[in-house]
Amino acid sequence: MEYKLTYEKYKEALIGGKFLGLKCNKCGAYTVPPKKVCLECTSEDMDIVEISGKGEIRTFTVIRVPPEGFEGPYIVGMVELDEGPWVMGNIVDLDPDKAGMDLIGKKVTTGHKVVKGDKFSAGDGVALAFSLQD
């Protein structure tokens, strides 16, 4: 079976304001980011669905020594989506020096930011951008 939700398709949708994932028709689990098969039951029978982007911060770090091509400091976090999966992205709209343990458990919404690629990245990419819910 053809790869259902490729990175290219996922990226273009995200840039267009839609956060896509996969929902399994067999067990109901969500697979985000996409994979060839359902993360829970390995079924290929999944539909492309729009993900709410709502979730809770599970952990974070502030990158102060960045890789070549990035400028620190910035916050990277893992969010547990309401749909279940964990995803990685940047926590934005917050001064990195104010990031502390109280971030964990905070509710967020998800947007995106386009990231300029380097000679190893196969072009520009896109990162999830989490904003704290008021």
Partner 1 sequence: MREVAVVGVGMTNFGISEKTQIEMFSEAAMEAITESNIEPRDIQALFLGNVLGDFEEGQMNMAPMCAADIGIPNIPATRFEGACASATVALRDAYMWVASGFYDMVLAGGTEKAMVMGTPMATRTFAMGSDSRYESFAGITFPGAFGMAAHLYSKKYGIPLEKLKEQMAMVSVKNHKNGVLNPKAQFRKEITVEKVLSGIVIADPLQLLDCCPFSDGAAALVFASADKAKDLTKKPIYIAGTGQGSAGPLHNQKDFTIVKSRVISSQQAYKQAGIGPEDIDVCELHDCFTIAEILAIEAMGFFEYGKGSQASEDGETALDGKIPINPSGGLKAKGHPIGATGAAQAYEIVKQLREECGERQVKGAKIGMTDTLGGDLATVCNIIFRR
Interacting residue ranges for partner 1, rule: CB under 8 A = 7, 33, 39, 58-70, 72, 74, 76-78, 80, 85-90, 99, 101, 104, 115, 118, 120-122, 125-128
**For residues 28 and 105, which CB has a smaller minimum distance to Zn ion in the complex?**
28
Q: Residue 41: which of partner 1, Zn ion, none does it interact with, CB under 5 to 8 A by kind? A: Zn ion
Q: Residue 27: which of Zn ion, partner 1, none does it interact with, CB under 5 to 8 A by kind? A: Zn ion
List the structure tokens of 128: 């999830």
Residues 134 and 106: their CA atoms lie apart, in Å, by 10
**For residues 44 and 56, which CB has a smaller minimum distance to Zn ion in the complex?**
44
**CB-CB neighbours of 14 under 10 Å:** 20
Judge whether 104 and 58 are in contact, CB under 8 Å: yes
**For residues 29 and 126, which CB has a smaller minimum distance to Zn ion in the complex?**
29
- Tell the smallest beta-carbon distance from residue 25 to partner 1 (Å): 21
Residues 116 and 36: their CA atoms lie apart, in Å, by 26
List the structure tokens of 104: 């964990």
